Amino acid sequence: MEQLVIIGHGPAGISAALYAVRGGAPVTVIGKDGGALTKADLIQNYYGFEHGVKAKDLIEAGIRQAQNLGARLLTSEVCGIEFGEAGFLVKTPAEVLRAGAVIIAVGTARNVPKIEGIGQFEGSGVSYCAICDAFFFRGKKVAVIGSGAYAASEYEVLKGVISDVTILTDGAEPTFTAALPHNKKKIARFDGANALERVVFADGTSEAFDGAFIACGSAGAFELAKKLGLETAGNKIVTDEKRATNIPGIFAAGDCVAGLQQIAKAVYDGMIAGTEALKYLKSL
């Protein structure tokens, strides 16, 4: 059976792993942390804990449970998902995993830096997807806004199409390991008439750019959905009742799909996505 790759270490992702691995699928779960649940302390509205349960304990117990059943847990970030010759390629900074099916179970909030003018130029120079929009900037000069592995990944995508690409870290120290061209100056604003024309820095200097690709932090559900062409509504991925998206083999669960942002709902979503992804893999 082909591998199932689940993106997200939270309740939805781990719940999906439990059902899929018990059904015989090879499962890898990738995540940097437990997601939004890590921001909570004591959980008092989840079934079975009469005195409540600490969020940290619940996350760690779920991860151990999945590992005990045979799931592979990988602490990393996902930089992108691409179509492979058969199935999908899930890219991390260290490796590319082949998958017959993928479940997206991460948050939906866009990682948008607080830069003046960024909203004004969305669609007129500001983009959130290198794979989607690199073609439109051929022969032009563009920037990638970010300082980590995700920014480095977007840089590599753009360099395959555009010759003049620079990473702007917006005052942050870069954490990518490759020696990539970058500028660490703090950004004050994006400027231009009808489209982006320049980036103005906090020290008063400026540099001309035709485009800026936003790649701050890690790729969340919104960024991954954009790259694949998944249908979205607002900041949510659209799925059917089986948590299947508009692309066969891609499922979504948890906070990135419509509904209450509650642990019980995330666990339910994961159960549905995990069992349906298992059925999909068995049909290949």
One DSSP character per residue, 78-94 reads: --EEEE-SSSEEEE-SS
Quick check: 186 and 201 in contact, CB under 8 A? yes
Q: What is the pTM of this model?
A: 0.85
Quick check: 257 and 245 in contact, CB under 8 A? no
Q: Are residues 13 and 82 in the same domain?
A: yes
Closest-CA residue to 157 (of 77, 98, 217, 82): 82
Q: Give the pLDDT of residue 34.
A: 59
What is the domain-level CATH number for residue 145?
3.50.50.60
Cα 147 to its chain centre, rounded Å, is 16
Strands 141-145 and 164-168: parallel
Residue 163 pLDDT more than 90? yes
The total number of structural domains in the chain stands at 2
Q: Which domain holds residue 152?
A: 126-214
The residue out of 199, 214, 229 marking a domain boundary is: 214
Q: Are residues 223 and 105 in the same domain?
A: yes
% of residues, the chain, pLDDT over 70: 97
User: Alpha-carbon distance 57 to 67, whole Å?
Assistant: 15
Residue 110 pLDDT more than 70? no
Quick check: 168 and 143 in contact, CB under 8 A? yes
pLDDT digits (tens, 9 = 90+) for 242-281: 999 999 999 999 999 999 889 999 999 999 999 999 999 9
